[in-house]
Amino acid sequence: MYSSKGRRELPDETFLIDGDLEPLSKGGTFVGRHICVPLEGTALHINAFNFPCWGMLEKLAPTFLAGMPAIVKPATATSFLTNAMVRVMIESNLLPAGALQLLCGSVGDTFDHLMSQDVVTFTGSAATGRKLKAHPTIINESIRFNMEADSLNFCMLGPSDTPGTEEFDLYIKEVSREMTLKAGQRCTAIRRVLVPESLVEPVIQALSKRLAGATLGNPATEGVRMGPLATMDQVKEVRKSVEALRKGADLVYGDLDNFSVTGAAREKGAFFPATLLHCADPFARSEPHDIEAFGPVSTVMGYKTVGDAIELVKKEKLVELIRFSHQEISKLIKRDARIAVAGLNPHASEGGMFGKEEEAEIRLTIQPTAPNFTTLAMEQRNDEVLQITQKAVVLIHEPLRGLLKPSKPPASHP
């Protein structure tokens, strides 16, 4: 696709005209036009273990079209496959010398040598991505940094999609497929299964029946529908995540210790069984919204109204933002930071007249993450709300040696 679009839509020049000629003076004596030219640096592509070939190629295509050389840094666990593919590409002599470089193993001090004309793309865990994005060279040189991180994707079943309907059957089929395709080791796999409370049991039963037909084993063996994880280390990581999820959810399908494998020895392969959990109180528990088991694992959660389902989806983002703020501020002040979260008008306070965000969303989201995070009770009076807001600012920024000094809150709201 990229190749054909490049041939059809891009010029044979070393620049691309962007938009029409724009008059910049009244008499037309001063005009301007934007042109796009290749950056003069290198594209550094840091790729994930689960897409050692396709992930590399989808990044190389626009890189080469833009006229930039690339350095590919694959994940160590599956780098042998990337190495084999790059070797074939180099031997084909289709690329100019030096246009493609391969770096296996640690990145070492690579980031220290980056410059403002370089580009970095990263695919992998959010934690690693944030760490790389905060590298001093990335910040000081204003280097373009594109991150595709893990996420807790959800799939929602509508209230009218009851058992026996085409929509219900399609939903079960899709969730099951997303759990077992590539053993669930995809960033787009469904991790949270949101269904009406009245349909929780029918969904669990239907999913369990379908997952039972997804035979685990050697992909080369006839009848096998799900293969192993990428590495033995991944088995340990996924199991660790499942155990963490079980603190807030019950195991309803799958047995981590007793499962059969077809066409292979279970102890010699990185096999992990399809695992389904059920969180009975998704608003009170943070685990399903905060922990991703990067394997054939999903959690069923019930909702009362469509509004509830929307709030559950938003819950993950709020927790992620607070955790990131806590992590970065703690590094800055070199001690454990205290984060205060407050709901403001018109989304909260006034006894619920303006909104119930602090009760229905913030408090229920933050409380399970204690002791690092604290909710502040919102008062009904506007001046008290302002005071609490100022306290939150002081609490977060006070250690920054007075760089931010909130003004004294007014006696009353104007």
Neighbours of 21 (CB within 10 A): 11
Residue at token pair 């089929």: 173
Compute φ and ψ for 409, nearest 5 degrees.
-65, 145
Instruction: Using alpha carbons, select from 338, 343, 345 the residue that is nearest to residue 369.
Output: 338
Kindly state the DSSP code that residue 151 receives in the 8-state scheme.
-
The answer to whether residues 15 and 36 touch, using CB atoms and an 8 Å cutoff, is yes
DSSP codes of every residue in 25-86: STTSSSEEEEEE---SS-EEEE--TT-SSHHHHHHHHHHHHTT--EEEE--GGGHHHHHHHH
Query: In whole angstroms, what is the distance from residue 16 CA to residue 34 CA?
Result: 9
| Burial annotation 192-222 (CB, 10 A radius, 16+ → b, else e) | bbbbbeebbebbbebbeebbeebbbbbeeee
187 carries an active-site annotation = yes
Choose the catalytic residue: 53, 58, 104, 148: 148
Query: In whole angstroms, what is the distance from residue 192 CA to residue 10 CA?
Result: 41
Residue at token pair 């096998």: 224
Maximum C-alpha span of the chain: 82
Q: What is the 3-state secondary structure (H, E, C) of 99-133?
A: CEEECCCCCCCHHHHCCCCCEEEEEECHHHHHHHH
Residue at token pair 């929780």: 200
Choose the catalytic residue: 187, 287, 311, 361: 187
Helices (H) and strands (E) in the chain, counts: 13, 14
Query: In whole angstroms, what is the distance from residue 46 CA to residue 56 CA?
Result: 9
148 carries an active-site annotation = yes
Annotated active-site positions, please? Answer: 148, 187
